[in-house]
Structure 1
Amino acid sequence: MKSKKSKKVALEARLRKCKNIITIGVRPNFSDYSTPDAELIMSADKIYYPSMFYADLFNAMGKNFFPSHQTYLFAQDKIKQTSLLNLLGIPHPKTRIFYGKRQKLTITDYFKFPFIGKVPRGSAMGKGVYLIKNKNDLAEYCDKKHVVYIQEYLPSDRDIRIVIIGNKIVHAYWRIASPGEFRSNIAAGGSVSLKPVPAKPLELALYTAKKCQWNDVGIDIIQHNDKYYVLEANMKYGKEGFRQFGIDYIELMEQLIEEGAI
């Protein structure tokens, strides 16, 4: 049996079932850690899943951790993701952010119905995504948020979820929307298809993850008119794809840690 010192250290609970990880927990007051736990954190070569709070602190002090600081910085922030994708020239549906009442009045100067409205921060699993078909839909959506995130609608009954951990794809699958539903998210009733994913979207996902320095991410890609677009990145991706592929997530993570891949 491995000693406590020989195990890797994690703060968040994501790897709590891994045999080669000791999970300590996240305490915003560092003084609340016991002396042994504080020493484990400080002496560890790498901290796994430190939380956004400690990722900022560890980054400032030069301490190694996984996933990357950039992965934390862009988690559940569609505005920052869109800006980065555009800066890097990564194909992404036409998207624009509108702030305040005056800018909202100009939305239809840039987009024709129907288009997509999203909650720009903090949403996941298809929640906070709206198909805006007319002025009434738009008014209702705009009333919900001071900052609105508008994206062109690329009609499709499916998209691709590609999960990358470290620097490799661990699985990729099609998500098929249920009849009458424009979202293909599994949480929104979508289903998984294990039909092979073409090479181009796989290459696009790997390129995107590398350029953005995201090393634990589910990248969603849609095909429209024979071109592939990155929709968004999900740092809190679900595990349904792992189950569908018969992949034990905990065993996979243990293996990647032992190999030094993450």
Structure 2
Amino acid sequence: MEFSMVCNKLSWEEKSIVETAKSKNVKVDIILNTTYFVDLEKDNVANDLVLQRSLSYVRGHYITAILENFGHTVINSYECSEICGNKLLTTIKLLKANIPTPTTYCAFTKDSALKALEELEYPAVIKPVIGSWGRLIALLKDQDFAKAILEEREIMGNIFQKVYYLQKYVQKPARNREQYVRRDKVPRDIRIFFIGDEIVAAMNRHEMQGDWRSTATRGARAVACEVTSEMEELAFKAAKVVDGEILGIDLIEGEELMVQEINHVSGFHALAHSTGKDIGGRIVDYLIEKMKK
């Protein structure tokens, strides 16, 4: 048995997949998106099944399109990556399916964004429609700060920075000063890892002091959490909406439990460490079952 895996480089997650596959006598053909090129009339990937693990959204998205055109099965699919890789498209899908998600506005100029923020009310959050790891996300505390951030985005070269994705700031649980200082209860969100039709692991990501974001790659503390029936229901609905097979689903607790984002290429180092679950092994097992069919 053999499958291909597209990635930027062999990070911890990709190494765990390769090592587990080797232990199960499964070969992995590594395709680095930094060196990959192709004649669009000639397929140069031998395996039918391809696992997409590109950190670069654009490279991964278009390589997936190319491979699917040649008839390969790619996990996750082009359609799934198109939705999950774009926060605006994800929000539209969630709202259409009546899945709770934070209140979100969209604007396309600085002036219209400022008017939207007046209606949304401060504090609010601005996020790039395409991006990950909490980069270029800003907490807009007031109009003066919003103007400064928006003026900066106006002169950026990336056209997607001029799509102003504005979200209501959600007060997370345990946002209490004394609890924050003691570090016994710290504001958090929830990451659920979904494979096939099963939740394989979940964790709370607790904010760091001095940073309102709770991104594990930025140092947020990861702690295993129990999956409630409400979490499970939301995760399954979210996975169905994007037609995803291997997903990292982010939930946030406000006045109600909501889906924040859906990640089609999800890191799982912190999740594996905090839960003790062999996520790489579960991914390989899923791919083996796909290859048997």
Q: TM-score range by the shorter chain?
A: 0.7 to 0.9
Partner residue of 1:49 out of 52, 72, 78:
52
> Are the structure 2 counterparts of residues 147 and 211 from structure 1 closer, same or farther at C-alpha, using a change threshold of 3 Å?
closer
- Name the TM-score, length of structure 2 as normaliser: 0.75
Task: Encode CA deviations 1:22-66: one digit per residue, 9 max, x unaligned.
Answer: 3142422248x9xxx93x52xx44233283223213434544222
Report how far residue 99 of structure 1 moved: 0.1
Asked if the contact 1:173/1:241 (under 8 Å) is kept, the reply is yes
* CA distance in 1 between partners of 2:50 and 2:85 (Å): 22
Asked if the contact 1:119/1:148 (under 8 Å) is kept, the reply is yes
Partner residue of 2:115 out of 96, 101, 106:
106
Which moved further from structure 2: 90-99 or 235-244? 235-244
Aligned to 2:178: none
Aligned to 1:237: 266
1:252 aligns with 2:282: yes
1:21 aligns with 2:33: no
Asked if the contact 2:83/2:242 (under 8 Å) is kept, the reply is no
1:116 aligns with 2:125: yes
Which letter does structure 1 place at the counterpart of 2:212? F
Partner residue of 1:219 out of 249, 253, 257:
249
Report how far residue 135 of structure 1 moved: 1.3
Report how far residue 228 of structure 1 moved: 0.9
Asked if the contact 1:176/1:184 (under 8 Å) is kept, the reply is yes
> Are the structure 2 counterparts of residues 237 and 48 from structure 1 closer, same or farther at C-alpha, using a change threshold of 3 Å?
closer
Asked if the contact 1:71/1:235 (under 8 Å) is kept, the reply is yes
Partner residue of 2:207 out of 169, 177, 184:
177
* CA distance in 1 between partners of 2:215 and 2:106 (Å): 23
Partner residue of 2:240 out of 205, 210, 235:
210
* SS of 1:143 mapped into structure 2: helix
- Name the TM-score, length of structure 1 as normaliser: 0.83
* CA distance in 2 between partners of 1:133 and 1:114 (Å): 4
* SS of 2:167 mapped into structure 1: strand
Aligned to 2:141: 133
Which moved further from structure 2: 20-29 or 212-221? 20-29
Asked if the contact 1:71/1:217 (under 8 Å) is kept, the reply is no
Task: Encode CA deviations 1:189-244: one digit per residue, 9 max, x unaligned.
Answer: 3212223232201220111101221222211111112x111111123322210122
* SS of 1:250 mapped into structure 2: helix
* CA distance in 1 between partners of 2:275 and 2:222 (Å): 10
* CA distance in 1 between partners of 2:206 and 2:27 (Å): 36
Which letter does structure 2 place at the counterpart of 1:178? M
> Are the structure 2 counterparts of residues 48 and 109 from structure 1 closer, same or farther at C-alpha, using a change threshold of 3 Å?
same
* CA distance in 2 between partners of 1:236 and 1:11 (Å): 11
Report how far residue 151 of structure 1 moved: 0.2
Identity %: 23
* SS of 1:201 mapped into structure 2: helix
1:196 aligns with 2:196: no
Asked if the contact 2:125/2:169 (under 8 Å) is kept, the reply is yes
* CA distance in 1 between partners of 2:87 and 2:288 (Å): 33
Long gaps (5+) in structure 2: 54-59, 154-161, 173-186
Cα-Cα RMSD:
2.7
Which letter does structure 2 place at the counterpart of 1:9? S
